[in-house]
Amino acid sequence: DEIQALASVMEKQARLVVKPKEVSQEEKQRKAALLAQYANVTDEEEYPFPDTANGSRTLSALNSHPALFRNTNVEDVLNARKLERELLRDEFQKKKEQDKLQREKDKLAKQERKEKEKKRTQKGERKR
């Protein structure tokens, strides 16, 4: 009984084994083309970084190799900060000019109030 139970369990497991996927000829050709494309990497292309005396890689060595993509993230961030600073500088300059004009207006208004007060005081003194 045990042997038969074991045999039936093994048969069930054998049926549950995943069948190999049927791959079409076109898919095989695509895969082969991709593998061939990536297999054409030479040793120089695979290891393009020349080692310096201490074994580290320098930024200039990375940028000098033509096969590498240029990482512009740092430049983009710096340019964005520079642009933001320029905008803030312009806004500050405009605000400064507006404040200056407002101070001049306030000064003129204050002088006018003083003159009106003087005239009113002079009229009051004349009446006495």
Candidates 86, 87, 66, 62; CA nearest to 74 is: 62
**Does residue 44 sit within a domain?**
no
**Does residue 95 sit within a domain?**
yes
Q: How far apart are the first and last CA of the chain?
A: 136
* Residue with the larger pLDDT of the pair 121 and 101: 101
* Residue with the larger pLDDT of the pair 47 and 85: 85
Domain extent, residue 94, equals: 77-127
What is the pLDDT, as a whole number, of residue 53? 47
Q: Based on the structure, what is the number of domains in the chain?
A: 1
**Radius of gyration (Cα) for the chain, nearest Å?**
42
**Does residue 112 sit within a domain?**
yes
**Does residue 100 sit within a domain?**
yes
**Does residue 47 sit within a domain?**
no
Give whichever of 5-14, 43-52, 107-116 has the largest mean pLDDT: 107-116
**Does residue 39 sit within a domain?**
no
